[in-house]
Amino acid sequence: MKIYLRKILLIGLASPILALSGEIGTALKADTLRAEPFADAKTVGSLNKNDSVDILNKKGAWLKVKTKRTTGWVRILSVKRGSASSSSNAKGVLDVASGRAGTGQVVSTTGIRGLSAEDLKSAKFNEDEMKKLESHTLSPSEGQKFASAGGLTATKMAYLKGTK
């Protein structure tokens, strides 16, 4: 019975309309809200950690968000998309369909499977698959060719420093 109810719940949650309507976000940290999506734009307000926001727009590295108090632009990495309760609903349905839901173990025999620590521990070397993997190895110049075909050009940028 419990499993049956869960199925219904999961299928209900999987509605695409739900997933798309008015995206919600949560502030990962305190940050400044600005009038425009630029670092030197006028300050119009601030975000506190864990504030809920409505995400209105996205431009480059910036999100336009609406808080209870004001509307403004904030750096994309300061906001976590979705609310705490959102989850991968489609995946949940797949789990139910394949008999994986709620067991903590792979019970399906559908071919596609999980990869648990236990699986990895008991894994045996597979020479054939390794040969296949090796057969796809590309040279640096082949990578370059692929990049050019997509209009990608290399840019110089230093690695970022860590923070505490």
Partner 1 sequence: MKPLAMNKLLIGLFLATDLFATQALALDLGKMLEDAAKDKVEEIKNGGETPPAATPESATSAPASTTSAATPEAAPATAQPEFNWKNPSKEEEIALGREITGSLLGAAPLVKDEALQNYVNQVGRWVANQCERADLPWKFGVIESSDINAFAAPGGYVLITKGLYQKLQNEAQLAGVLGHEIAHVVKKHQLKVLQKQQLLNIGAGKLSDLLGKDDKLAKKVIGSGAEISARSLDKTAEFEADRMGMVLATRAGYDAYGLPDVLQTIGQTNKSDNSVALLFKTHPHPDERLTKLGDSAGSKFDNIKSGKTLENRFYKLN
Please report, as ranges, the residues that interact with partner 1 according to CB under 8 A: 28-29, 38-39, 60-61, 75-78, 80-82, 86-88, 91-92, 94-95, 100, 104, 106, 111-117, 119-127, 129-130, 132-134, 136-140, 142-144, 146-147, 150-163
Nearer to partner 1, 69 or 84 (CB): 84
Angle (CA) 33 39 42, round 5°: 55
CB of 137 to partner 1, least distance (A): 5
Q: Residue 54 or 95: which CB sits closer to partner 1? A: 95
Least distance CB 14 / partner 1 (angstroms) = 13
- β-pairing, 52-59 vs 62-66, is antiparallel
Question: Cβ of residue 51: shortest distance to partner 1, in angstroms?
Answer: 14
Nearest approach in angstroms of CB 92 to partner 1 is 7
Burial code of 137-150, b = ≥16 C-beta within 10 A, e = fewer?
eeeeeeeeeeeeee
For partner 1, give the closer residue by CB, 68 or 156.
Answer: 156
Structure tokens at 80: 């976590």
The residue type found at 72 is G
Whole-angstrom distance, CA of residue 73 vs CA of residue 42:
10
Nearest CB to partner 1, comparing residues 68 and 121: 121
Q: Are 64 and 55 in contact (CB under 8 A)?
A: yes
CB of 61 to partner 1, least distance (A): 6
Q: Are 45 and 70 in contact (CB under 8 A)?
A: yes
Q: Rounded to whole angstroms, what are the CA distances from 125 to 10, 119, 129?
A: 38, 12, 9
**21 vs 155 by CB, closer to partner 1:** 155
